Amino acid sequence: MIKDFVPLASLDSLEFAGWDLFPENAYDAAVHAAVLEDRHLRPIQEELSALEPMQAVFYPEYVKRLHGTHVKSAPTKADMVEAVREDIRRVMREKGCSRAVAVWCGSTEIYVEPSDVHQSVESFEKGLRENHPAITSSMIYAWACLKEGVPYANGAPNLTFDFPAGHELARERGVAIAGKDFKTGQTLMKTLLAPGFKARMLGLNGWFSTNILGNRDGEVLDDPENFKSKEVSKLGVLEHILQPEVYPDLYGKVYHKVRINYYPPRGDEKEGWDNIDIFGWLGYPMQIKVDFLCRDSILAAPLVLDLALFLDLAQRAGLRGVQEWLSFYFKSPMTAPGLYPEHDLFIQLMKLKNTLRWMQGEDLITHLGREYYD
């Protein structure tokens, strides 16, 4: 067990808090979401009911399909950062916590590319004071956490802090960060299958992916501007795994299409459907069909807990800045500037295991196996 190998925080030492656009407590929100059955919620109703959300930072221009009622008000985005910082300090004081970790589980924002305001700590903080339109709600949370020395994982494809100013502040404050976009459903399948195709040198002509889901995530992604953020995150996976510039005959002309459709009757039970056109020896074509009937939140919840525990470990170990060894959990892994992101799930898992072994002063896993034959 990993918890017996490295000193993870014990589960009974954890406290929970968060922000939400809506005022319902955690129990009422869970009942409304209808992800968990009553037999799982009822035994912890008292604990969940006691979890009241703090008012959220919410600028609707970045998530137009939601209309929050439980939101903060402040003259500038710099004031919003200070309000979130005060929330963090108050919660830690009231709950008696010695340290904290933040994990973004909020909505996908509209697609934003890094601009001048994101290039340095100075320019970003000037943008906060001037309410710069390229500073989104998620960036405000992330900046507040970095200022407070709170490690942060970004579970959405939002830009958040994946820009020079965010990286700079994380290093300055000695804060561990990770992201982006939880790898749970359809993209998890791609990072399982694509490495196998490449390992066997099976060619790929096209990969068509579509999703139907009816939860709030689906509603938000029904807006083309928000879908753009998700599309960019999803489309990069195959290109990085298959390396078409190295294997042009096999992967140089792949047609990759991703669609997400909002379908309310499905609720949180997402369906991801893939049509994969491959070819083998002498170019003979073949097809693979994948129909993944999954549960979005059920797949994501364990990732949130893992990331909280691992980021806390990283922070205590003195690791700062981007924690690329946690890319195992993300669709669009953050890396050091200029570094090629690794998407192959199996390589990502090896990075994670080897980082934990390195922390403990153990030999790294190589799978060379020569010692068995010498």
Can you give the pLDDT at residue 122?
98
Confidence of residue 372 (pLDDT cuts 50, 70, 90): low
Tokens representing residue 51 in the block: 């979890």
Residue 300 has pLDDT above 70, yes or no: yes
Q: Exposed (0-12), middle (13-18) or buried (19+): which is 136, by Cβ within 10 Å?
A: buried
Residue 215 has pLDDT above 90, yes or no: no
Q: Is the peptide bond prior to 270 cis by the omega test (within 30 degrees of 0)?
A: no
Least confident of 56-65, 265-274, 319-328: 265-274
Q: If you average pLDDT over every residue of the chain, what do you get?
A: 94
pLDDT (mean) for 36-55: 97
Confidence of residue 41 (pLDDT cuts 50, 70, 90): very high
Least confident of 59-73, 146-160, 205-219, 277-291: 205-219
Residue 290 has pLDDT above 80, yes or no: yes
What is the percent of the chain where pLDDT is above 70?
Answer: 98
Q: At what angle do helices 77-95 and 121-129 cross, to 10 degrees?
A: 100
Residue pair 70/20 in contact (Cβ under 8 Å)? The answer is yes
Residue pair 342/331 in contact (Cβ under 8 Å)? The answer is no
The pTM score is 0.93
Residue pair 177/170 in contact (Cβ under 8 Å)? The answer is yes
Higher pLDDT, 219 or 291: 291
Rounded to whole angstroms, how far apart are CA atoms 264 and 182?
22
Rounded to whole angstroms, how far apart are CA atoms 291 and 186?
9
Confidence of residue 230 (pLDDT cuts 50, 70, 90): confident
Residue 231 has pLDDT above 90, yes or no: no
138 HSE (CA, 13 A, CB side): 27
Residue pair 155/105 in contact (Cβ under 8 Å)? The answer is yes
What is the percent of the chain where pLDDT is above 90?
Answer: 87
Mind listing the pLDDT tens digit for each residue in 145-159?
999 999 999 999 999
Q: At what angle do helices 164-173 and 137-147 cross, to 10 degrees?
A: 20
pLDDT (mean) for 171-175: 97
Residue 338 has pLDDT above 80, yes or no: yes
The 3-class secondary structure across 146-157, one letter per residue, is: HHCCCCEEECCC
Confidence of residue 371 (pLDDT cuts 50, 70, 90): low
Residue 293 has pLDDT above 90, yes or no: yes
Residue 132 has pLDDT above 90, yes or no: yes
Q: Please report the domains of the chain, with CATH numbers, ordered by start residue.
A: 2-21+56-182+298-359 (3.40.50.720), 186-293 (3.30.360.10)
Residue pair 59/24 in contact (Cβ under 8 Å)? The answer is no
Rounded to whole angstroms, how far apart are CA atoms 266 and 271?
8
Confidence of residue 337 (pLDDT cuts 50, 70, 90): confident
pLDDT (mean) for 36-54: 97
Mind listing the pLDDT tens digit for each residue in 87-113?
999 999 999 999 999 999 999 999 999
